Amino acid sequence: MTKANYGYKDGSGEYFITIDTDLCNSCGKCIDVCPASVLKMAEDELDPLGDEVIAVVSEEHRKKIKYSCAPCKGGETELPCVKACEPGAITHSW
């Protein structure tokens, strides 16, 4: 099991999105439902010799995901990205 962690820790908590690169089947559904374009498809950074394209957190959001994801976090329903991911590859630390 290989997990890619994107995010940061600050005085208010830990904000990481983890994508299990083994579970991601490259379907792209999480990208379609993300209202803030936090997620995108890219080559697997943890497998530089591989050519698999999987979901990753865009570079521009990695240092601000607490804010990028805030609109989704307000509700009581499951997060759109987590809900869309059938293999359950996406987890959030907060």
Kindly state whether residue 2 participates in binding ligand SF4, applying the rule CB under 6 A: no
- Furthest-apart CA atoms within the chain: distance in Å: 40
User: Which stretch in 6-14, 42-50, 78-86 sits in contact with ligand SF4 by CB under 6 A?
Assistant: 78-86
Residue 56 within binding range of ligand SF4, rule CB under 6 A: no
Give the Cα separation of 57 and 31 in Å (integer).
10
| Stretch of 8-16, 20-28, 42-50 lying at the interface with ligand SF4 (CB under 6 A) | 20-28
CA distance 39 to 57: 5
- 32 phi/psi in degrees, rounded to 5: -65, -35
Minimum separation from the CB atom of position 88 to ligand SF4 (A)? 8
Cα 51 to Cα 53: distance, rounded to the nearest angstrom: 6
Give me the residues that bind ligand SF4 (CB under 6 A), please.
19, 24-30, 33-36, 38-39, 54-55, 68-69, 72, 79-81, 84-85, 87, 89-90
